[in-house]
Amino acid sequence: MTHTSAHEMFERDTASQALGIELVSAGDGAAEVRMRVTAAMVNGHGMTHGGYVYLLADTAFACACNSHGPVTVAAGADVTFLRPSGEGDELWAYAKERSVNGRSGIYDVTVTHDGAVIAEFRGRSRTISPGRPS
């Protein structure tokens, strides 16, 4: 696993780390992250709250679009929830760059559990700086 700007960004991402999200890999416009669903992440229907699924996908998206080096942020995103998950499930999010034109990019993220697709996420990125935040 190559150490990229995405790894450096993730090391400062206290929000994702506080939820137990782990960066598995990142580089060349792609990233993989995983998270174990805890009791605190389950809604009143006994399913993983959609906000946590979205956050996991958003973290993978952030790592993928920052793997090139310049500081890149979300310009927008959409998620489609396809099936539920629950407490104890390990969710994986796989992000992949689809298109970059100038400072704008499009990334797709698939969230899975045991090979079943839980959600599909499409993120739109915007590069804001050629450097890194201090």
Place of tokens 């952030």: 62
Running along the chain, 134 residues long, what does each successive block of 10 average in pLDDT? 75 95 97 98 98 98 93 96 98 98 97 98 91 48
Instruction: Give the Cα separation of 41 and 53 in Å (integer).
Output: 9
To the nearest 10°, the Cα dihedral for 23, 44, 76, 89? 20
89, 57 in Cβ contact below 8 A?
A: no
Cβ-Cβ contacts under 8 Å for 87 (sequence gap 6 or more): 37, 38, 39, 41, 42, 46, 48
Does 134 fall in a domain?
A: no
Residue 40 in any domain: the answer is yes
Residue 47 within any structural domain of the chain: yes
Q: What per-residue confidence (pLDDT) applies to 129?
A: 76
Predicted confidence at residue 2, as pLDDT, reads: 46
Q: Does residue 54 lie within any of the structural domains?
A: yes
Domain tally for the chain?
Answer: 1
Q: For residue 100, what are the domain limits?
A: 5-129
Within the chain, strands assigned E span: 22-27, 30-36, 71-81, 90-101, 104-113, 116-129
Spell out the residues 6+ positions from residue 51 whose beta carbon is closer than 8 angstroms to its own: none
Per-residue model confidence (pLDDT) at position 70? 87
Q: Would you say residue 37 lies in a domain?
A: yes
CATH number at residue 19: 3.10.129.10
pLDDT of 133 = 47
pLDDT, residue 134, reads: 42
Best CA proximity match to 97, nearest among 69, 123, 119? 123
- The structure's pTM equals 0.92
